[in-house]
Structure 1
């Protein structure tokens, strides 16, 4: 269920981005409306989560680094906005369980497979956790590319791609690393086609 706070937050984000940037949202209709979805995006700026989620019609449940949930205001605000914590630098079993549960409940989870922002705007290596989610769930895996500099009044482009067919990898019992590589290739293809 969407909270009123989440709806209000999306509205504020849309107003902000429309006022200060030229925002182009491309192919958001490629996101399935009534199924579990793993939305996988590159990560170039701390404003990527609100940009990626603000213009689509579903609530996006972002995984966010656990340190953010230690901040006085954010620790109560982030859960109300649908985010849940993940501890970086190792296997976070609680985050994995939470993510799989949400996907089974046909939620949309937003992840940044690189695990941190790119300092060069080039796509880095993805972490195996995203491949784990893709293989262990029946969720659609949708690549996403954020393109732009976030300089005021510049163009920001968000491109959503066709869902990546994970069925063959699931049948072959591929490793999470192999699944992650397939997902990163999907994101890179969007970046190459859209720049």
Structure 2
């Protein structure tokens, strides 16, 4: 739902910088709100590399980044809403291996504001669920990540295929964690 970022920021109790499509910046008032709150305009036609480069800037500055592992919010009208994840979150996690990834799930925002709707149903209940943070280094060293050492990861980083496989595994496990947390 379009309301997810609002609930995420409230739950995190700190500013979160989200990657947001250029269409959210076209209206002058909306652009003012988006830029004044530190949201990051992205351009789908330039691909994921542009969005990830902007995300790197946020993480380099030590700020919080909100990212949807699916690459977008679901526009489906009926559950399950959770889609297959894209590997951008894993690529960022690998680049910043000690930065925590905090899985968050919003339950009820689809009922509060359904896709395509402009009406907000304030009477609907929303629950924000937050799981334990994990960073890429911890994950890679764990059984799920393959029990890899820093040296193993260094050697794997020379193989694009091996890293792509690792990114996919991290992303799939993150999506599964979100599903187990009750993501609709």
Q: Same fold (TM over 0.5)?
A: yes
Q: CA deviation at 1:112?
A: 1.5
Larger mean Cα displacement after TM superposition, 135-144 or 87-96: 87-96
Q: CA deviation at 1:110?
A: 0.7
Q: Which runs of 5+ in 1 are unaligned?
A: 1-44
Alignment correspondent of 2:129: 159
Q: 1:81 to 1:121 in 2, by over 3 A?
A: farther
Structure 2: how far apart are the matches of 1:166 and 1:182?
A: 12
Alignment correspondent of 1:87: 43
- Report the RMSD for the aligned CA atoms in angstroms: 2.3
Alignment correspondent of 1:3: none
Structure 2: how far apart are the matches of 1:121 and 1:49?
A: 20
Q: CA deviation at 1:165?
A: 4.2
Q: Secondary structure at the match of 2:129?
A: strand
Q: Which runs of 5+ in 2 are unaligned?
A: 113-120, 158-162
Output one character per residue of 1:160-183: Cα deviation in whole Å (capped at 9) or x when no partner: 110134221583553233322122
TM-score by length of 2: 0.70
Q: Secondary structure at the match of 2:74?
A: coil
Q: 1:145 to 1:89 in 2, by over 3 A?
A: farther
Structure (1 or 2) with the larger CA radius of gyration: 2
Aligned residue runs from structure 1 range 1-195, under 5 A: 45-88=1-44, 91-114=47-70, 115-119=72-76, 120-122=78-80, 123-138=82-97, 139-148=99-108, 149-150=111-112, 151-167=121-137, 168=140, 169=145, 171=153, 173=157, 174-175=163-164, 176-191=167-182
Q: Which structure features the higher share of strand residues?
A: 1
- Give the total of aligned pairs: 149
Greater RCO, 1 or 2 (C-alpha within 8 Å, sep 6+): 1
Structure 2: how far apart are the matches of 1:97 and 1:140?
A: 19
Q: Secondary structure at the match of 2:41?
A: strand
The 8 Å contact of residues 164 and 183 in structure 1, kept in 2 or not, is answered as no
Q: Secondary structure at the match of 1:141?
A: coil
Q: CA deviation at 1:75?
A: 2.2
Q: CA deviation at 1:187?
A: 1.1
Structure 1: how far apart are the matches of 2:43 and 2:89?
A: 14
Structure 2: how far apart are the matches of 1:106 and 1:121?
A: 35
